[in-house]
Chain A
Amino acid sequence: MAVLNEWAFIGVFFAVAWVFPFAPIFLARLVAPRKPNPIKQSTYECGVETVGDTWVQFKVQYYIYGLIFLVFDVEMIFLFPWAVAYRELDFFAFAAGFLFIFLLADALIYAWRKDALEWV
């Protein structure tokens, strides 16, 4: 019951956390003036008219960082259970962790040597 209560708290917190920012925005909608016109709503580019579509293909570099991050993020999550139990484990746990982190670092070294980390 106690464990369930904790998660019930998080559940209610999720709901309330969304209401908190919504309330003032909704209130502002009632108070603030609304006089839209095409010039006001045009894209803001310091007075210059915008050329072409905004949603274009973007730099490939961002994908590469995204991919490297994904490798790390997934592997880091696996390290947490290891870290929690670590103090009760023997030297074998260190060896296993070392091997795992070495594989993780290996990916980084590979990306580094392939110049994936250079900002071009």
Chain B
Amino acid sequence: MPELECAFPQVVNNLAPCLAQGGMNADLANFISILLGVVLIAALPLATLLILLVVERKVAARVQDRIGPNRVGPYGLLQSIPDALKMMTKEDITPAGADVFIYNLAPIIAFASVVLLWAVIPFTPLHIGADLSIGALYLIAVASIGTVKIMVAGWSSNNKYALLGAFRTIAQLLSYEVPLVLALLIPVMIAGTMSMQGLVEAQRGMWFFFMAPVAAIMFFIANQAETGRAPFDLLEAESEIIAGYNIEYSGFKWGMFMAGEFMHAFTASVIFAVIFLGGWIGPGTDQLPILGFVYLGAKTVVVYIFGLVLRSTVPRVRIDQLMSFNWKFLVPLAIINVLVTALLLQVVNWLGIAPQGDAASDLIANLPQTVVLLLGNLGVMGTVSTLVRNMGRQQRLADEAVEADTEVEELAHAAAH
């Protein structure tokens, strides 16, 4: 066995072999390196959370022409710390008649389900928690745990508003999972792998955002709904169901729901950046892998801020509009999109313009297939928008005809008296 160099920068990547070289039991060394990696990656969303809460409030404040938190620390950046301390000292109320065990379990599920997503996110070419061969499937599976927390919280609280909120939220989350997964299918199809690192590598030549814009936009919308952001924030419709499924929670348990929600929104942006915006891809990542972290961060912030601005500018939709939009628009579109992309990939194969081998990471070699896919996507967008516009016009005409009829009837009625 060759001697490993176990000075500071190298030891980070080779912790287990280095420890074993120092005379430790190999299994124990392995376990320690895994545990350290897990704690590091799980701490990452927690660290970002402290900043996220302030950024979220700052952006919302700016959109609404307010200043936002500005007292604690420079620009109010430390606001989260007193907030957390305050939550810590609040009384924890368990409502009478609550199902205590699952009532206490729900906030933990809420938080854990989001932290778990970070296990498969590639930060740099070298740094990823676990590069599972089924990374994309893992993302979907873990994201679905989020649905369980809402059912558990709403059911165990023994409150009608909580139960009502939980029902509609579950209906929403279940429904929007369909376009989410079907949109995720497209990058998997183009890259030919489900491994997260593989999905990023496949974007070396061209980001999937340009190869599959329809899937990207659909993924963004579905994610906005999955994380309960406006215009899909029915799960916390204050004016209708007070606060939804977490109404009976207080203190830090309520805080866990909030923290989970904020973190989920950020995590969804990270996933979007990884799958559609090339993740850590950028100039110089091969020489200096840690740069990838910066690129991923920058891309994520762009997506996240866009989501925030969207959240603070659009009004909430009604539940029937929400469900119709999903089942009558997004799902059919997602199915058509899968078929169109499948057909286009066959065309690419038939024309023989798919980049082979090393050329796959070259921008020029990727251009022909990107053009084919992009044109197909634009075609889908154009057709769909024309169809929707025509249907809307017919609907409006029909509505106007009905209105005119009732007006005539009313006039006739008035004249008869």
Contact = CB atoms under 8 A, between A and B. Distances in A.
B83 to A, nearest CB: 13
Interface string B99-113: 000001001101110
Given A34-B92, A35-B91, A62-B167, A101 B115 contact: no
Interface of A is mostly: helix
Given A21-B107, A80-B137, A119-B324, A13 B160 contact: no
A112 B326 CA distance: 12
Interface in B63-118: 84, 87-97, 104, 107-108, 110-112, 115-116
Contacts of B90: 28, 32
B171 interface: yes
Contacts of B56: none
A33 B158 CA distance: 23
Interface string A93-104: 010011001001
A81 to B, nearest CB: 9
Given A62-B171, A101-B339, A42 B158 contact: no
B159 A43 contact: yes
B367 interface: no
A80 B335 contact: no
A25 to B, nearest CB: 5
Interface stretch (B1-9, B30-38, B289-297, B392-400): B30-38
A72 B185 CA distance: 13
Interface in A1-46: 3, 5-10, 12-14, 16-18, 20-22, 24-25, 27-29, 31-36, 38, 40-46
A101 B335 CA distance: 7
A32 B251 contact: yes
A83 B175 contact: no
Contacts of A21: 107-108, 110-112, 115, 256, 260
A10 B119 contact: yes
Contact of A101 (B31, B188, B319, B338): B338
Contacts of A32: 88-92, 251-252
Given A117-B327, A119-B324, A72 B178 contact: yes
B254 to A, nearest CB: 10
- Size class of the contact patch on chain A: 35 or more
A25 B204 CA distance: 43
B194 interface: yes
Contacts of B41: 13
Interface string A80-91: 100111111011
Nearest to B181: A76
A72 to B, nearest CB: 5
Nearest to A21: B111
B185 A28 contact: no
A55 interface: yes
Contact of A72 (B35, B188, B328, B331): B331
A21 B109 CA distance: 8
Contacts of B319: 119
Interface stretch (B126-134, B218-226, B275-283, B406-414): B126-134
Contacts of A28: 87-90, 92, 251-252
Interface centre among A17, A27, A31 (most CB of B within 10 A): A17
A104 B335 CA distance: 9
B242 interface: yes
A45 B182 CA distance: 40
Contacts of A105: 332, 335
Interface centre among A13, A24, A80 (most CB of B within 10 A): A13
Nearest 6 interchain pairs by C-beta: A21-B111, A119-B320, A28-B252, A9-B130, A6-B130, A83-B189
Given A6-B131, A9-B129, A18-B108, 17 more contacts: A8-B31, A10-B138, A17-B42, A21-B260, A24-B88, A27-B88, A31-B88, A41-B95, A46-B242, A54-B159, A62-B167, A68-B327, A69-B178, A73-B181, A76-B181, A84-B192, A87-B345
6 contacts: A9-B34, A21-B108, A50-B160, A54-B159, A61-B171, A88-B192
